[in-house]
Chains A and B, each alone.
Chain A
Amino acid sequence: MQSIEQVKAILSDTLGLGERASSICAETPLLGHLPELDSMAVVSVIASLEEHFGIVLDDAEISAANFESVGSLAALVDAKLAPAE
């Protein structure tokens, strides 16, 4: 997952994770596990991902499945960055 390092940085900055950031990995669960991840935070993370990577997420992609873990979010970004067929 090429974007995972940047996704981790965006999550850390937006959620203010501080020292916890160093222990984040692809398997780290997000929804339901991070108290900071309320609806405002979800919107901020998405906005940061869009601005940073130059992608646009549509409604269907803002889902519990994509926000399940750091890895699932990074996979979403990678899929959006992949060249169109």
Chain B
Amino acid sequence: MKKIILLCVFSLLGITIINAQTRKITGVVTGSADGLSMPGVSIIVKGTSIGTSTDSEGKYSIPVSSDSKTLVFSFIGFKTQEVPINDQSIINVILEVETQTVEEIVVVGYGTQSKKLVSGSVSNINGEQLKNINPGLEQTLQGRMAGVQVNTNSGTPGGGVTMRIRGSSSITAGNDPLYIVDGVPMLTGDFSQQSMGGQNLSATTAINPNDIEDIQVLKDASYAAIYGSRAANGVVLITTKRGKTGAPKIDFTYTYGQSRMAKKMDLLNAPDYINAMNEALYNSYGLVDYLGTWADYNYVNTDWQDEVTRVAPLSEAQVSVSGGSQDIKYYISTGLVDQTGIVIGSGYKRFSTRVNLDIKGTDRLKYGTNVQVTNEKINRIYGDNNIYSPLANAYASEPIYPVYNADGSYFDNMSYSNPVAMGKEPQHLARTFRTMGNAYLDYELIKNLSFKMSANADVLDFREDSFLPVDIGIATGSHGSGTAGNTNAYRLGLENTLTYNTKFGDKHNLTLLGGFSYENNYQFVTQVNAIQFPGNDFKWIASAARVSGGTSSTTGYKLASYFGRVEYDYAKKYIFRFVLRSDGSSRFGADNKYAYFPSASLAWRLSEEDFIKRIPVISDLKLRLGYGVVGNQNIGNFNALGLWSTGVAYMAEGGISPLQLKNPKLKWEKTSSYEVGFDLGLLKDRISINASLYKKNTTNLLLTRPIPSQSGFTSVTENIGESENKGLELGLSTVNIKTNSGFEWSSSFQIAFNRSEIVKLSGDPISTGMVNRFEEGHPFAAFYGLRFLRVDPQTGDMVFDDVSKDGIINDDDRVYIGNPNPDFEGGITNNFSYNSKVGNFDLSIFFQFKEGNDVFNGVRQYSEAYYWDNMLTRVKKRWKKPGDITDVPKAYYKNTDVMKVSSYLVEDGSYIRLKTISMSWTVPSKWVKNAKISSLKIFGTAENIFTWTKYLNPDPEVNYAGTSNTTLGTDFYTYPNPRTIKVGVNVTF
């Protein structure tokens, strides 16, 4: 092929010498994807200013002189094509869609960079992959980026999701990454003042994934350091969609779906339950048939799980209009999500609108705005660790009792409150009204030097209204109770940057950035509580007879930062990058007001070297090396100050009393990270591989240290602890098959290995949750308890390992019995697409997996203890007579051995999940052209389809403590992730 081209070029040269006249070349340009003609494609004669563009039918005509050799065809979103003219007079061109790996631009914080030149670990995901996955943002990242570890702790609508980038390093200061949306640092976390027993809310649900153009995750410190004291847990950069020059494009999507329990808890039916309880009561107390027979319960066999769960509909609609002229570009959208929870009483709604504007004032001045307004309404229910939870009570309640009495009232004479009543009667409404966005101005002061100013705001008004019924559940003593709470959180910021781009010599490229930013965070919290309600129909505090409590308070912090960055490359071959940020925070102690975060990285693009260029199979090869220091400033707003608190009272007078001592040395937690990696593209990037090896050392972990109590104070918080994370990440993406007939099969595979270790604590190990423990030399939040050996075949009793050899089983016998951190995790995606005459077909199959993580199944502490709770069917295998070999002990009433924290309850939580299958059919545009529709797509998506796991409960990927920092891998009556099937239609005008 190459030879032929060369031959052509030579022959062309020959011809041009002879004939130097002007002539005309004509042709048609079509797109490779649909074979349709492409209007507006620009064509120039290479090396000249002669140019034209295709007409509405894709046709063009261009005059060329005899010495013109090449025509250049270009169009946004398509590969630019250079075609030798030779002696042709008709040149028809098929433009190919620009594939992702070519000259991608990534957002890296206060600027962008060509992906080819990235010298650190920046993962990205394209907006296309986020489509129709609502409402959560983090879920979409699960398994898609190596080293970005996402755990959906429950299926609770609107519930918080745990996201960790390269493991957890902090014990007390949080491990959540920093989220930046279009340059605006986003408020994250849970603003609720109410504990719902486990699952919390997350402020990141406010982002509408349909508006997202792409997401970059800065994983290593060399890139994250530009965000300084907030970057220790990685940075998630979200870029929303923007308008492009062209006629208005209207895009409408509607989706409808249903969710249901993916797997039920395997519980006993009524006769088996009676049988097991009777046996337990006989074994413990010699009581014969204590519960009687099934007939005594009128053959009631209530499946409480069925009673509290449902097939839950969900619908989503999204409309956007985008487009623009040379001067004004716009993207305007509105999205609506209405999701019903699979457990009665739970649900989530979101209404959001977005306006993104980019305006060109003069040749030098650009300004614009990005604004999102969101309204969320969440119906919450008590969950997990709460005895008034509909689902937990459904798992635990006796199947022998009916839901309702004969008169239609709730049956409530059982061990726990009636699960159906707990789902239907209480009310917990959480509403968020939020505006976030910025206004920016970009001005080119002199050539290559531009000044950018951005005023940022994230304004969040969260309110919650709760009512607990008068006649059932927790608040019967006070005849109902109600709470109204408001949390107003504001983050206002101003950012100023100067960027200078230059090129000197032929091959030296230099970009300098300097900036200053200031941010003010403040928060107001108010709450009022009331009791004595007239009845369950009156749910607002205005109806209550007695206001029982109330509070209001405020808090906040400020951050003033300076930062600079040097990016240099020599011929795009040797890349050097240096970043320095200085953060001053009101949170830091007086002696440590300013923190400095330097980072540096180097990359060598071997593929630009001649000796590699000679290897045709290698299309891209880059070696990377990086080091950086980043911080975690989540150390509390006022922990460094000496404070006396108010709000203490005596004889109805308000007083003051000491709260904490001044702690002038208090500072941020510090993470130093090293990384080395490579990016490799083979066969014109049809295969791309990237790998990173990293090590993060975190020091100055915030822990409390006791001080002499005779001082009147008991402890002080200091930067004492140390932890370490190290790991390996691999990503592979391939285009397996690509035929001229329009069929393409591509795959991507991501896998990450992370090992965490607690290096230093202030003293004794720290225990958290039910089973987690932090101890020097052990992994983060490892499981600690008794080691279960076997069920004694002679007695049917559980035998534990007497580690201390003192003849008794007690706390001294505890050992490490599990690890909630996986050995590795990742995902596999296979995409198939086929462009045919009857439209484009796309199929995407996504598996996500986690291996080697343990789960502490806290449910079994009760569901196998014969303590009135209903039981897992595995108790049918229980020991009954001497000689029985089984791993289920003899039935005892309230079996305290089962309830002990032991390895008996630790299960392998590894799983591989068929997470998503999505299919779509894009109708051939000629079929819908008459309806002025430019594109019509019909699609279907199934989520959480099947999970291969040994884990007993419905879902291995849950955690009863929600997004807790330190309580990990524990299932305690947790709301499982549902299975969802959706269909929808997408129309573009």
The reply to whether chain A is a binding partner of chain B is no
